[in-house]
Amino acid sequence: MGRKNKVLPVLEGVKITGMAAEGKALARTLVRPEDESPMVVFVPFAAPGDVVNIKLDKKKRSFAEGHIESIVSPSPDRITPLCPHFTVCGGCKWQHLPYAIQLKHKQTVVQDALERIGKITLPEINPILGSKKIWRYRNKMEYTFSDKRWRTWEEIRSGDSFNDTGHALGFHIPGAFDKVLHIKICELQSELGDEIRDFVFKYAESNNLTFYNLKENKGLLRTLMIRTSSTGEVMVCLVLGEEMNYAAKGLLESLKSQFPMLTSIVYVINKKLNDSISDQQIEVFSGNDYIEEEMEDLRFRVNAKSFYQTNSEQAYELYKVARKFAGLDKSVADKPLVYDLYTGTGTIANFVARNASKVIGIEYVPEAIEDAKLNSAVNNIDNTVFYAGDMKNILTDEFIVEHGQPDVIITDPPRAGMHEDVIEVILRSAPKVIVYVSCNPATQARDLALLDEAYEVTDVQPVDMFPHTHHVENVVRLQRRQMN
């Protein structure tokens, strides 16, 4: 017979003392009476200062994980979350904390990562730039249709009988690809986004359109994307799991009629097992196949596949920091050659181009590079060039010889950070200044340690792009050391 699972205990009267990675709170306590020393316990949706009873879910050798069974006494910092889906949808883990407290913790996350992982000499870290808009700030939301709604424990325990269809249009439950929570309201997107999503759901229900079955890969309605822009333009992208038919056309016609402000209605037919549309054809139903974002005097075209920072207003603040750190916020006689690594759709490259002699952008995704070229053309920018491919294969010593030694490198890698081969090429190319934009301070700190042999950190600026989540962006300026 196999070993029986041990029943993990409930820890009573535990005080939450701080915040940790992935937005969880932490406590240090004895897990079992016979333990000699306290263990770190990670707890989601807790606030420093809470005294709680914790039901353990997992115990490892050096830490444990659990969830709040009950709150004995709440932290003085704890507030009532705005969203009715808080703790279930998984999107906003910090709605129970005042925004000023969220910023304080994000500042600490950046400082701890750079000091503990980077172990390098740092200047004083600038106070985090908070977002002026902390609700309704997202310009893009994606929802999933499901023919089997995820029921919350509160719904199940209520004893009420369910007289709905069991369909859902909402978000995947964290860690469960086949479970979708029906969303009634999302406080992070515009009110118009809520209205569109609600209209689509009610129309589909009233007209008996089939909702997608994730396990069987069948059903007409699969996903819904809503994009808004700072220019007031709005896109709706409906993804179908079956061929376009009379029922789907009826939905799109009704959507167009109900919301005349929509500037782009597009659809995709995706019969694959995964939801990605990056390799699928976008079909235009009404209007343009793009909407436009605006930043200073620049306009950026954003289509259904495009990456664009989801907080438009705060993206502008982030890019201004990067431009200032690069010394490109003002015109100089001797304009620098700039490399923009992981350029995406070329937003930063085009944003800094006017004060550069040339900007060379490199990005893995070919479609993003096409967007970058288009955005340069739309803005009459003629001093940018873009290359698509794996960074470590494109950015080589030979590439540097061919295109010129950079004066400035701006790098904005994915969460995993930069490959060591890329860092080695950067070190050999010896730019005067490196500006490192990161969405993951831990991997940024690791990379800064590798750059430390030739570069010193002169400026650090955290920027909050995503209020009520644990995510934080950080911009670091590095100056080449004077070698003896």
How many CA atoms lie less than 13 Å away from 257 in the CB half-sphere? 7
Specify whether 210 is located in the same domain as 262.
yes
From CA 348, how far away is CA 367, in angstroms rounded? Answer: 17
Picking from 263, 295, 327, the residue at the C-terminal end of a domain is 295
Q: How many domains does the chain have?
A: 3
For the residues of 296-327, what is the DSSP string, one character each? Answer: TTEEEEEETT----S-HHHHHHHHHHHHHHTT
Residue 431 resides in a domain: yes
Residue 431 has pLDDT above 60, yes or no: yes
Specify whether 123 is located in the same domain as 261.
no
At a CB cut-off of 8 Å and minimum separation 6, what does 435 contact? 322, 325, 326, 408, 409, 410, 411, 475, 476, 477, 478
Specify whether 144 is located in the same domain as 33.
no
Task: Please compute the mean of the pLDDT values over residues 164-188 and round it to a whole number.
Answer: 88
Specify whether 289 is located in the same domain as 340.
no
Picking from 237, 271, 295, the residue at the C-terminal end of a domain is 295
Query: What pLDDT is stored for residue 154 in this prediction?
Result: 63
Q: Which two tokens stand for residue 240?
A: 């179908």
From CA 102, how far away is CA 114, in angstroms rounded? Answer: 19
Residue 357 resides in a domain: yes
pTM for this predicted structure? 0.92
Confidence of residue 93 (pLDDT cuts 50, 70, 90): very high
Task: Please compute the mean of the pLDDT values over residues 229-248 and round it to a whole number.
Answer: 97
From CA 209, how far away is CA 352, in angstroms rounded? Answer: 48
Specify whether 146 is located in the same domain as 275.
yes
Confidence of residue 35 (pLDDT cuts 50, 70, 90): confident
Please give the positions annotated as active site. Answer: 439
β-bridge pairing 337-341 and 51-59:
unpaired
Residue 85 resides in a domain: no
Task: Please compute the mean of the pLDDT values over residues 463-473 and round it to a whole number.
Answer: 97
Confidence of residue 163 (pLDDT cuts 50, 70, 90): low
Residue 228 resides in a domain: yes
Question: In terms of residue numbers, what domain contains 195?
Answer: 140-295
Specify whether 445 is located in the same domain as 472.
yes
**What CATH number is given to the structural domain containing 330?**
3.40.50.150
Query: What pLDDT is stored for residue 176 in this prediction?
Result: 74
